[in-house]
């Protein structure tokens, strides 16, 4: 499977973003990067970070700067990828990251600085989600995230793939035991080093890894 993989170990540089200072959704990597530039932050990597409604609000849990802007979604039946069970949560603080099923996260005491809920889980305790079919016909550009140790691995396919193929990449190629699907079709990535800047459709929640250059110093 052709894919781009970005490993993030320094969790303190990774944040979620949705609304600007005027309470309007950023919608694009370009607008988010510009806003971060004004805060003396250089965006190095960004990716869409979970499913959203037509108004760009999150479908599930969304925590930004330790503030819950949208509650955990416990619905288990209905239409759409988000409701393929189990779905799950990506959550992190400066020193800890977790990828758990929604039920596991609901029972945990972890108080993250950032969290986004999506679905379905791709890999659960080292096993590919049993709801995925090896011979499925639905192929899309897909993106997701896996956890190994305390490093997060963000992956976007560069060719249309099935859920099973995408999950197998995390399990077999990256040797990851816990992975969460973020989205498909609109999956997008920005990587300054690789000079990749996808701009397919407006986005809701986004995650970005940024560093602070010597702003204002000539």
Is residue 64 included in any domain, yes or no? Answer: yes
Q: Is pLDDT at 173 greater than 80 in this prediction?
A: yes
Is residue 216 included in any domain, yes or no? Answer: no
CB contact set of 12 (below 8 Å; sequence gap of 6+): 94
Is residue 217 included in any domain, yes or no? Answer: no
List the Cα angle 198/201/205 in 5-degree steps.
90
Task: For residue 214, name the pLDDT band (cuts at 50, 70, 90).
Answer: low
Task: For residue 217, name the pLDDT band (cuts at 50, 70, 90).
Answer: low
Is residue 218 included in any domain, yes or no? Answer: no
179-199: pLDDT as tens digits: 999 999 899 999 999 999 998
User: How high is the pLDDT of residue 78?
Assistant: 79
Token representation of residue 51? 């499913």
CB contact set of 186 (below 8 Å; sequence gap of 6+): 48, 200, 201, 203
Q: Is pLDDT at 218 greater than 60 in this prediction?
A: no
Mean pLDDT across the chain: 95
Count of domains observed in the chain? 1
What is the reported pTM?
Answer: 0.95
* Residue range of the domain that includes 55: 3-211
Is residue 121 included in any domain, yes or no? Answer: yes
List, in sequence order, every beta strand (DSSP E) within 71-141.
Answer: 88-92, 97-101, 114-118, 121-124, 127-128
Give 158's Cβ-side CA count (13 Å radius): 9
Reference 179, options 197, 166, 191; nearest CA is 166
Is residue 154 included in any domain, yes or no? Answer: yes
Is residue 185 included in any domain, yes or no? Answer: yes
Is residue 39 included in any domain, yes or no? Answer: yes
């Amino acid at each position: 499977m052709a894919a781009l993989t970005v490993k993030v170990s320094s969790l303190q540089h990774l944040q979620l973003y949705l609304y600007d200072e005027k309470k309007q959704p950023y919608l694009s990597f370009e607008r988010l990067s510009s806003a971060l530039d004004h805060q003396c932050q250089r965006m190095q990597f960004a990716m869409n970070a979970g499913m959203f409604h037509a108004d760009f609000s999150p479908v599930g849990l969304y925590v930004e700067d330790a503030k819950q802007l949208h509650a955990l979604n416990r619905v288990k039946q209905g239409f759409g990828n988000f409701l393929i069970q189990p779905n799950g949560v990506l959550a992190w603080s400066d020193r800890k990251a977790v990828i758990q099923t929604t039920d596991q996260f609901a029972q945990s005491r972890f108080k993250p600085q950032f969290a986004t809920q999506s679905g379905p889980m791709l890999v659960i305790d080292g096993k590919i989600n049993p709801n995925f079919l090896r011979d499925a016909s639905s192929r899309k550009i897909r993106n997701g995230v896996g956890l190994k140790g305390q490093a997060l691995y963000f992956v976007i396919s560069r060719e249309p793939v099935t859920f099973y193929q995408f999950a197998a990449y995390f399990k077999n190629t990256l040797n990851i035991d816990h992975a969460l699907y973020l989205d498909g079709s609109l999956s997008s990535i920005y990587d300054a080093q690789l000079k990749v800047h996808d701009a397919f459709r407006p986005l809701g929640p986004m995650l970005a890894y940024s560093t602070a250059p010597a702003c204002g110093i000539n």
